[in-house]
Structure formats: C-alpha cells, structure tokens
Structure 1
Amino acid sequence: MPMPVEVRALQQGDLPGLLALYAQLIENDLPLAPALAETRFDEMLKRDGLTVFGGFADGILASTCVLIVVPNLTRGGMAYAFIENVVTDGAHRRTGLGRQTVRTAIDAALDTRCYTVRLQTGGTRPGTLDFYRSCGFDLTKHGLEVRRIPPREVLPT
C-alpha cells in the first residue's frame, strides 16, 4: 500500500527535518549553530520570491528543494527561477517523491510566468543527471561560478 504523500511549502516547525535532510546533501558541510539555523530559516521563509518545498511521506519530511524567483527586465519582464539544495532522504530515493517535489517547484515557477527554471548540480551520486532529466531539465548551458568554499567533485557531462 503506497504511503500518503504531500508536497508543500515548508514552515517554521519543519526546520529539524530540513536540517536532517541537509545532512545527507553535503557530507562534512560547514557547521551551522542551531540559533543561526533558526535565524536563516526565518529569513528564508519571509523572503519574497523564495520558497522551500518539502515532500512528505507518511507525514515525514523526506525530500526538499528551494525555489528562488527573480524579477527581470528582459524577456518582456518575465521572471526567471533557480532551484537549489535538492535532496531526498536515502530511504525514499527512487520512489518518485523527489521528482514530485522538484516538479512542484517547477510548476510554481511556471505559474508565476517565469520564462526559465535553472538548476546546477554538484552532486556526484550515479544517476543524479538522469534524475534531473526525469524532472524535465535539459543540459543546455554551461555553469560558471565564483566560490568562497571548494566545490564538490563535478559530474562528467
């Protein structure tokens, strides 16, 4: 029997589950003090154009992604969007929950008339690019960045 699934914007009380997922996203990530985590999450929840989506399986937060919608003066004033910090709990991978969470974010961006939704990945797990392709993404551009901290190993294209 399939588990009840819900995808929604996260709220303040969802922070502990979100932090548990993020622990699976970046191994050996920089430390984050609990008080700072609460402050940053509150800032994120209040920021216009930023939504943290969560996919819940049987009431437990098991996948997440962040959608950032940016106002724009090109493309007829249509905004553009970025999706970041995508992760699904290891026990819930390959169930469709992660895809449903990302697709919810994409649909939200398109509903706000974004002309494009962009995503970069530094993920190194086998199948990561296939997962993003299954969500509707295509490899269409090169990603360039300036970083303060070292990047994770880049996936071959």
Structure 2
Amino acid sequence: MDITQIDIPIRFTDYQELNTKDQLSGGHTIGTTILNKEEAKRGIVEMLIQKNLPRIILCTIVIHELVHVWIFHHHLELPAMEEEGLCKFMEYLWLEKQATPLANVHMKLKHQNQCPVYGDGFRNTHSLYIELGSNIETLIARLKSKRSPK
C-alpha cells in the first residue's frame, strides 16, 4: 500500500476538538482523516490524532488512518463495513508483527469487537484474507477491483 507520494498533514489534538471534527463516530474517536471529496479540490485536508496516546494505540491509529488515505487515493468505493474492516485488519497485521503480550491482547479485542461496522468488518476481511491464501497482495487486488470511475 504505497502512499509515499501523498502529502498528508498530520496534527495532534485534544479529544474534544477531534470529536467535534469527526461527525461519524458519535463523539468517541481518537483519530480521523478529513477528506475533501470535491473533484476540483480533491485531497487530504488533514489527519487528526489525539495527543498523548500510548505507542501501541498511536501506531494502530496512524495505520488505520493511512489505510483510509490509501482507499481515497485509489478512488475505491467500499461500503463502510469493508473500508473499516480493511483498516482494522491492517492494524491487526501490524500488531501480529509486534509479537508482544500487549499486542496479542489488542488482536484478541479485534476478534471480539461487537460493532457491526468495525468488528464484523474486521472479521469479514480477516476471513477473506485467509480464503485468498493469506496473501495481502491478492486481498488488495480484490479490493482494487472495486475502483470507481474517476
């Protein structure tokens, strides 16, 4: 998932400001990416991340938001469950590489998440990944096939 050619302004902010900017979370987010989807001004406005997070949480939030940027940059039109599921799954792959007890706890929490969008989305993406032979390139190619016309 190469996004090295994209300018992404990142700003650390407090919980209150973050949640006034993110209308979709219902006031319970610690990271969000604000996108301008107007064709003439299309781009990343800014990524907001709550300040003073523990390292493991900070890393998963940055990964999650960067996947949203990648999806936007590739003009993919994914239902919310698929988009959030992919974001959560990429967090999971990073946690898996950490191989620490704390990372294992966070991995288990992803499997146990009861939220239809985030939890079911993660589990569906994880199952598809396994179905596709645990091959991330194949998973990404499958998702890219859903690209919308520009």
Q: What TM-score, normalized to structure 2?
A: 0.38
Q: Which has the higher strand share?
A: 1
Bigger helix share: 2
Question: Please, what TM-score do these two structures have when normalized by structure 1?
Answer: 0.36
